[in-house]
Amino acid sequence: MKKPILVLVLTFLFTFNCYSQIVFEDGYFIDPTNKKTNCLIENLDWKNTPLNFRYKLPGSEEIITADLKAIKEFAITGESKYIRTTVKIDRSSKFITEMSAEKDPVYKDETLLLKVLIEGKASLYMYDEGSLTRFFYKINDNEIKQLVYKSYLVNDNSSIAKNNYFREQLFIDLKCENILQREYENLNYDRRSLLKLFIKYNKCSDTNFTEFEKKEKKDLFNLNVRPRLNNSTLSISSSTIDFYNFKFDPKTSFGIGLEAEFILPFNKNKWSLIIEPTYQYYKAEKTKETTALQGGEATAKADYKSIELPIGFRHYFFLKNDSKIFINASYLIDFALNSKIEFVRKDGSQLSSLDIKSGSTIALGVGGKIHDKYSIEFRYLIGRNIRKENIYIDSSYATASLILGYSFF
């Protein structure tokens, strides 16, 4: 049963990636001959430095892919800007297994696409390539230089030290009476800290500057209460004990979860991390004939309560009218609460009792959200073993859920 569900979800993902709304926004690009072309550029809110972008010319619906190796500059109006330039870059690793014992940066001339964060008397740029993030700066029309920050090994490679020369660079080149010395000394090598300093310097210098970072990031955290209707199935089997072989009838029950959703600040807020503690229960009874017992009949009584903890990712597809569709996949850990399956004879005497100690599983969901407040989701939990510590007894507990949601934060 797992394979058809996975195929269904993958098909859904592919379909919506093909047909979900594509956002093209006003922008331009400049080619190596300095020719500027106004166009509509697909805004993917890139986390890493892009390798290409797609655009449409005015009055045309044809989508063209631009090779960034042939682009000097491109921008999405009022939001982002990238320039291609040759700089000296140090690519020293921050991972200890690849870290050098050399304190000074090892530069190499490379032609890179830099993201413009601040453009003014003091300009700030960023290059992001997977685990490598480097910041660059320029004063007036001088050359673009890397802000130096490097981790290196000391004490016979037994500990790590930091080369924070970028603080001294900025203290020398971005000196202003409104910036205290401790602000340079305590400066962190990250986008937010550097942006704050460059904005303060440009304001202090009383010069015009442009900030290409977004001014507003809303709904970066959502807290949702999510009641649900569950339809669950349970089966248990053993190759050695016949009266352990039961397939219970599907049961409908109610559950409730509290979902914390953290919107990831890239790709137009289409991705989020979700964590949702959820209470669920299942109660069922089944009687069957068996030749293994005198009297020929055994009854199994399942009483299963637990706190489920799915942790996963969600992807949104934005539609019109403030609506969106989403899919999500989570790794679910289950914590059983005083749960067991009892087996009794026809006369009511107990045959056996099995404590439930549940394993983990995968949860797959698809749903929609309106006005960032109300949501509905169909979720399927792939069958999990509720007797994970007993290799002689196999079991499967699967659930299909209809979940309603309300975001109050």
pLDDT tens string for the chain (409 positions)? Answer: 444 444 545 454 444 444 445 578 899 999 989 999 999 999 887 878 888 899 999 989 899 999 888 899 999 988 899 999 999 999 999 898 899 899 999 999 999 999 999 999 999 999 999 889 999 999 998 999 999 999 999 988 889 999 999 999 999 999 888 899 999 999 999 999 999 999 999 998 877 898 886 554 456 889 999 999 999 999 998 877 777 888 999 999 999 999 999 988 777 788 999 999 999 999 999 888 876 555 678 888 999 999 999 999 999 988 866 789 999 999 999 999 999 999 888 777 878 888 998 889 999 999 999 888 899 999 999 999 998 777 778 899 999 999 999 998 7
φ, ψ at 12 (rounded to 5°): -60, -45
Predicted structure pTM score:
0.62
Are 121 and 203 spatial neighbours (Cβ–Cβ below 8 Å)?
no
What domains does the chain contain, in order, with CATH numbers? 78-211 (no CATH), 221-407 (2.40.160)
Q: Contact, 291 vs 327, CB < 8 A?
A: no
pLDDT at 239: 76
The strand pair at 323-336 and 340-345 is best described as unpaired
CB 387 within 8 A of CB 357: yes
Q: pLDDT tens digits, residue range 176-205? A: 888 999 999 999 999 999 999 999 999 988
CB neighbourhood size of 290 (10 A): 15
Closest residue by Cα to residue 384 from 393, 397, 365, 399 = 397
Q: Is 116 exposed, middle or buried (0-12, 13-18, 19+ CB in 10 A)?
A: buried
Which residue is listed with tokens 């673009």? Answer: 144
Conformation bin of residue 127: beta by default, left when phi > 0, alpha when psi is -120 to 50: beta
* Pairing, β 246-247 against β 132-139: unpaired
Strands 251-263 and 210-211: unpaired
